[in-house]
Amino acid sequence: MKRISSLLLAIFFTSTIPFSVADHHAQSSFKVTNISDNLILLQGRGGNIALNRGQDGVLIIDNDYADLGKELKQQIENLAGGSALKFILNTHWHGDHTGNNESLNQQENVNIVAHNNVRKRLSTRQEMPAFNRVVEAHPRPALPTITFPDSMTLHFNDETLILQHYAKGHTDGDSVIFFKKNNAVHMGDHMFYPMFPFVDLASGGNAISYAENVGKVLEAIDSETVVIPGHGPLTDKQGLMDFHTMLVSTIAEVKSMKAEGLSMKAAQAKGLSAKWKKWNVGFIKEPVWISFIYSSLK
């Protein structure tokens, strides 16, 4: 594991901020994409943000890094049409998705919604050994005020949102959010596209159940569903199917290598089949992805 930690640590120090997707590093502003009249994608430097606007106000899913707070507030104001921000939904606890919980909720008049474990992790000191990093407990305005153990339904702006927890995936507190009227799904970090995903083993993540969770989402959507990954461009069910195929197939390859008696280091040296090289474009490179799988198989 020392070699893998070194690889991740090197990525940490050569990237602008950890968890960023490589092609986001040079961006100094948010890219805005209209999915529908009332559902908008904002892409900054961290996780993808979905914004829903309407007669009830504004709702956002995730909110990027803290240092983008001022610009994010301005983007929300530009898109809100005078409406107030009412809800923040956190797909999980990482700072590239929750970095502006506090700045957007300074008056504590915004409802922050997340799985129970997101509040637990944000309210306590967290260690991230993969990045040799410690995250201190967050102040009260940054903490979710509404939490749930498995799923919840939110009716807002004539839309029905289903927040579904998927256990032991990217972390232990991940939610995937379905928009019923817009026929869209925000995957959170249950999808890095098109690239190998980061699985936070220290936060209860597991590569094997991560793949199983993605398979469950596939069963819940149709060919017309707009798929919003946690990182990367908008895609559709076929894109999610391709991602799932990569997950399942690479897991099978690593499982086979382990069954043959190969150590993790030997499996990394052997590598995956050449057809998966096209997924080796994010901040998680093939040897690290192999380590996530190998460790999850334990």
pTM score: 0.91
- In the structure, what pLDDT confidence band is assigned to residue 22 with cuts at 50, 70 and 90? very low
Q: What is the pLDDT of residues 258-284, one digit of tens each?
A: 999 999 999 999 999 999 999 999 999
Q: What is the mean pLDDT of residues 179-208?
A: 98
Q: What is the mean pLDDT of residues 163-186?
A: 98
Domains of the chain with CATH codes: 2-296 (3.60.15.10)
With CA atoms as reference, report the closest residue to 293 among 208, 167, 212.
208
- Tokens at 132, concatenated: 């040799």
Q: What is the pLDDT of residues 94-104, one digit of tens each?
A: 999 999 999 99
Q: What is the mean pLDDT of residues 247-253?
A: 98
Percentage of the residues of the chain whose pLDDT score is greater than 90: 87
Q: What is the mean pLDDT of residues 238-250?
A: 98
